[in-house]
Amino acid sequence: MSGWNEAVERLRAGRAIALADEGRDGVAHLLAAGPEALPVLLREGRGPLTVVGGGEAVPPATGGLDVLLHAPRAGGTLVLPTVEAAAQDLAAAAAPGRAALLRAAALPGGVLARDGAVQDFAARLGLATLSIQDVVTQRLATETIVEEVAAATLPSLYSDQPLAVHAFRGLLDGTEHLALVRRPGGTGPLGPAPLVRLHSECLTGDALGSLRCDCGEQLRSALKLIVEDPQGGAVVYLRGQEGRGIGLANKIRAYALQERGLDTVEANTELGFPADMRDYGVAVQILKALGIGRLRLLSNNPRKRAALERYGIAVAERRGLRIGPNPHNATYLETKRLKLGHDLSAAGLKVASEP
């Protein structure tokens, strides 16, 4: 991958770059910040031309291509890390006010450039390459997207001494988040690698006792574990992440689809969403505000560890948080193991009543 500055300079000079998408279908895109590099997109791309934002009209000489107009989204990749948002952010950095032009990158023969082929594609054309994650990381390193707005103590069922509770507000969307911190002895400094759980909001599981998931039990177990840990720890409660990011009403719609036989991933897809839309940039800035740059992570999800490490958080250990299944969530947990890569053993997912 190229550096951020190199990619921005090339866009500013009217040249195209390659934009890699590590998620979704993995297809790379050609990106230009204005019409100067349009011939490269026409020659080396495939499919419709997407025009993102900018005050300009659709560029002329598009060779009869279908042109898709994509409205800019406030917050860009820090709200939703898509290829269109990354194009918006890069164009804004390189040439404010100009439209970003996107087209899927194609190898000779018309096959789309995916995954490992992206570097060869870019090398053949002498293009700088950047990934969506590079864009997110750059923005997180240079912008503040969350602020602490309140702090107090919280007597808790899970602790013999009150927990410290910190309230944060996202500056991009106003979503409020909490961090519950237990310090050794109640008031001592956190250890060099405190135990941390990043917990996505789940109203149905956390507050209403739903048996469809393991979220509520994971939250309660995490609170007990940080209290018991000699280094102390924190539970960062991330709101706005219902249903792996699809929202509360859509989660209920997904439940209805599951009642018709779809699994949790298939239901999200049927509703038009990726399997997992969550991003942990806000969580990283909350951790840094709490003075936590190195931690032991309470999670069954290896992708969560990878996300934190990409954002510069050192993860000394990932510790599983396994909850025994029940007849209502066994299929859900098995789907997370098979399709989302969660570290759950098949044997451990058998319901106790099964032979």
182 among known catalytic residues? no
Does 269 reside within a domain?
Answer: no
Q: Do residues 201 and 59 both lie within one domain?
A: no
Measured distance CA(67)–CA(50) in Å, rounded: 6
29-32 β-sheet, strand order? 67-70, 45-52, 100-105, 29-32, 17-20, 129-131
Look at residues 84, 119, 141 and tell me which one is the last residue of a structural domain: 141
**pLDDT band for position 354 (cuts 50, 70, 90):** very low
Does 267 reside within a domain?
Answer: no
Does the structure show a pLDDT above 60 at 347?
no
Which amino acid would we find at residue 144?
T
Which residues on adjacent β-strands are paired with residue 314?
294
200-227 pLDDT, tens per residue? Answer: 999 999 999 999 999 999 999 999 999 9
Q: Do residues 217 and 128 both lie within one domain?
A: no
* 8 A C-beta contact, residue 199 and residue 236: yes
Q: Do residues 295 and 338 both lie within one domain?
A: yes
Q: Do residues 237 and 290 both lie within one domain?
A: yes
Which member of 21, 134, 206, 276 is catalytic? 276
Look at residues 110, 141, 172 and tell me which one is the last residue of a structural domain: 141
The mean pLDDT of the chain is 89
Written in H, E and C, the secondary structure of 218-251 is HHHHHHHHHHHCCCCEEEEEECCCHHHHCCHHHH
Measured distance CA(120)–CA(57) in Å, rounded: 33
Does the structure show a pLDDT above 90 at 73?
no
End-to-end, the C-alpha distance of the chain in Å comes to: 51
The two most distant CA atoms of the chain are separated, in Å, by 70
Does the structure show a pLDDT above 90 at 231?
yes
Does 174 reside within a domain?
Answer: yes
Q: Do residues 186 and 217 both lie within one domain?
A: yes
120 among known catalytic residues? no
Question: Is the overall model pTM greater than 0.85, yes or no?
Answer: no
Does 323 reside within a domain?
Answer: yes
95-106 pLDDT, tens per residue? Answer: 998 899 999 999
Measured distance CA(351)–CA(355) in Å, rounded: 9
* 8 A C-beta contact, residue 202 and residue 216: yes
Mean pLDDT calculated for residue range 72-90: 88
Q: Which residues are documented as binding site for GTP? A: 197-201, 218, 242-244, 264, 299, 304
Measured distance CA(38)–CA(60) in Å, rounded: 9
278-299 pLDDT, tens per residue? Answer: 888 899 999 999 999 999 999 9
Does 292 reside within a domain?
Answer: yes
Domain with 224, as residue range(s), is 144-241+278-349
234-247 pLDDT, tens per residue? Answer: 999 999 999 999 99
Provide the CB-side half-sphere exposure for 242 (13 A, CA): 18
Q: Do residues 56 and 121 both lie within one domain?
A: yes
Does 255 reside within a domain?
Answer: no
Q: Do residues 284 and 177 both lie within one domain?
A: yes
Output DSSP code: residue 146: E
Q: Which residues are documented as binding site? A: 197-202, 213, 215, 218, 242-244, 264, 299, 304
* 8 A C-beta contact, residue 26 and residue 48: no
Q: Do residues 162 and 136 both lie within one domain?
A: no
**pLDDT band for position 114 (cuts 50, 70, 90):** confident
Q: Do residues 191 and 123 both lie within one domain?
A: no
Lowest mean pLDDT among 118-127, 143-152, 282-291: 118-127
pLDDT for position 353: 46
Q: Do residues 157 and 290 both lie within one domain?
A: yes
Going by their DSSP bridges, the two strands 146-154 and 67-70 should be labelled as: unpaired
Q: Which residues are documented as binding site for Zn(2+)? A: 202, 213, 215
247-280 pLDDT, tens per residue? Answer: 999 999 999 999 999 999 999 999 998 888 888 8
193-202 pLDDT, tens per residue? Answer: 999 999 999 9
Does the structure show a pLDDT above 60 at 352?
no
What's the number of domains the chain is made of?
A: 2
Does 36 reside within a domain?
Answer: yes
Does the structure show a pLDDT above 80 at 25?
no
Q: Which pair of structure tokens corresponds to residue 128? A: 């700088």
Does the structure show a pLDDT above 50 at 314?
yes
Does 106 reside within a domain?
Answer: yes
CATH number at residue 290: 3.40.50.10990
CATH number at residue 32: 3.90.870.10
Q: Do residues 121 and 224 both lie within one domain?
A: no
Backbone angles phi, psi at 107, to 5 degrees: -80, 165
Which member of 98, 212, 278, 318 is catalytic? 278
Q: Do residues 163 and 302 both lie within one domain?
A: yes
Look at residues 113, 141, 169 and tell me which one is the last residue of a structural domain: 141
Measured distance CA(90)–CA(132) in Å, rounded: 10
Q: Please state the separation of Cα 264 from the chain's center in Å.
A: 18
